[in-house]
Amino acid sequence: MSVQQLYAQKKMTASDVVQFVKNGDMIIVPTGVGEPPALLTALSDARRSFTDVKVAQILAIRKFGYIDPETVDHVRHVALFYGSATRAGGQAGWVDFIPNYFSEIPSLIRRNQMPADVVFSMASPMDKHGYFSLSLAADYTMEAIAKARAVVLEVNPNVPFAFGNCHVHISQVAALVESDTPVLEVGLPQIGPVQEAIGKYVADLIEDGSTLQIGYGGIPDAVVMQLTAKHDLGVHTEMIGDGILTLLEAGAVTNKRKNYMPGKMVATFALGSNKLYQFMDRNPALEMHPVDFTNPPALAGKNDKLVAVNATLQIDLLGQCGSESLGHVQYSGTGGQADFVRAANMSNGGKSFIVLPSTAKDNTISRIVPVLSPGTHVSTSKNDVNYVVTEFGVAQLHGKSAKQRARELIGIAHPDFRAELIEQAKLMKVY
């Protein structure tokens, strides 16, 4: 049977494909815009016919009907990282949460520590050889496909066909549906004067020829905007977004000085505009790979001059970062922050930056604190953190004593809080 005949045989309506889901199943869904709206809408419509079905995903973008406190006994969301669609449910207790490092989710699936019974994913149109591209998010989905009883794809002509280890053959697919809804676009966050100041401090420390890992957010994008005059930058990251596209258009990214996968940009998921998605289509300069290829420190750290830029919510005077919770209340997740901090530390000439505004709530709360708020989850340890940047400057922590660290961090705190921080540091015997 030809691949075109297999395609025709497996084509169904969205309402039909829910037959592949059984009670007790775990459905794996890719990161962000890789989530398939037609499939998840069909699941939502049929949710009351199921018992104990779970949907696992690292970042839900849209609040589908199944994300519903009234029907969690039928279909429940399991978050690997909270976003706006799942945060309230998680904090209320009816959305589950699995702590993880992003890089290790595939191994959780491989070791049967996290089930992967069914995969629902967006995909590009099939090529003449019978392959689809999961370009929007290869992440842990490729590992789930290897384990799943049933792989169901939502095939959409607006999804780019990217290169890399992100391809699925029609023979691996149990069913597919076709849709032509535009891929969800996620705009760049707003950048204010605080973000600009932090971005300049970081950008000044990034050398020509560096390889970049840039997270999502106002500060990382502020860094990117100030790198357009750099030369021969490379990209090895978990997320590719429009900020990277800006650097490419400016000629700052060439990837030619990368010593690990030279000439190639490498990422595991995409989050941006339609312009970005069109750029990804059959672009030989970009490869999308599973997260256990992009994020492990021992692999990412093969890049010389690897620069990692990631944000935190709070940092204490030893350098412990609370990046994912407000006290004990989970806000997001660990994601790839710890992965890339460690990767940059391993890299020859690498630099890891933790960035944060010095205050919160209209300058009424210092984000640099003597000790983390009670219950705060430590996302990145004191032993891993090196550069910390606020709008007031740069603190460099590696190799510094506890007292030196405290002084460095107090020096970049908001001036209104420095006297209080000094007093607390003296009580703690670290000043």
Residues paired with residue 131 on neighbouring β-strands, in sequence order: 169
Residue carrying structure tokens 């775990």: 26
- 3-state SS, the chain, equals CCHHHHHHHHECCHHHHHHHCCCCCEEECCCHHHCCHHHHHHHHHCHHHCCCEEEEECCCCCCCCCCCHHHCCCEEEEECCCCCCCHHHHHHCCCEECCCCHHHHHHHHHCCCCCCCEEEEEECCCCCCCEEECCCECCCHHHHHHHCCEEEEEECCCCCCCECCCEEEHHHCCEEEECCCCCCCCCCCCCCHHHHHHHHHHHHCCCCCCEEEECCCHHHHHHHHCCCCCCCEEEECCEECHHHHHHHHHCCECCCCCCCCCCCEEECEECCCHHHHHHHCCCCCEEECCHHHHCCHHHHCCCCCEEEEEECCEEECCCCEECCEECCEECCCCCCHHHHHHHHHHCCCCEEEEECCCEECCCCEECEECCCCCCCCCCECCCCCCEEEECCEEEECCCCCHHHHHHHHHHCCCHHHHHHHHHHHHHCCCC
Q: Which of 104, 154, 238, 324 is catalytic?
A: 238
Q: What are phi and psi of 4, to 5 degrees?
A: -70, -35
Our answer to whether residue 238 is catalytic in this structure is yes
Q: Which residues are catalytic?
A: 238
